[in-house]
């Protein structure tokens, strides 16, 4: 059976994959990014942000909490 890479069901979950960045290149979330991840979690009914909220904040927001320019 062939795996289709674009099929979301056949891809491993984010918590099952390794971190693509080396340890030296990892950066902590800024205070603004953390606040946006918390807001996103609260709006989804969760008390604390999960991995997906943090990944969203890291990839779609800059350090000031504004959307990244593409």
Of the candidates 32, 44, 40, the one whose C-alpha atom is nearest the C-alpha of residue 56 is 40
Give residue 53's pLDDT. Answer: 94
Residues forming a β-bridge with 67: 61
- Kindly give the confidence (pLDDT) of every residue in the chain, 70 residues in length, as a single tens digit, with 9 standing for 90 and above: 455 566 767 788 888 888 877 888 888 889 999 999 999 999 999 999 999 999 899 888 888 878 887 6
Where along the chain do its domains lie? Answer: 29-61
Q: pTM of the predicted model, to two decimals?
A: 0.69
Cβ neighbours of residue 41 under 8 Å, at least 6 residues apart? 47, 48, 49, 50, 53
pLDDT of residue 3: 55
Of 5, 15, 7, nearest in space to 50 by CA: 15
Task: Give the pLDDT confidence score for residue 9 in this predicted structure.
Answer: 72
């Amino acid at each position: 059976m062939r795996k289709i890479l674009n099929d979301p069901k056949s891809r491993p979950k984010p918590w099952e994959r390794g971190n693509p960045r080396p340890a030296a290149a990892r950066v902590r979330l800024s205070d603004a990014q953390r606040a946006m991840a918390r807001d996103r979690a609260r709006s989804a009914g969760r008390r604390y942000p999960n991995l997906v909220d943090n990944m969203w904040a890291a990839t779609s927001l800059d350090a000031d909490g504004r959307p990244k320019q593409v």
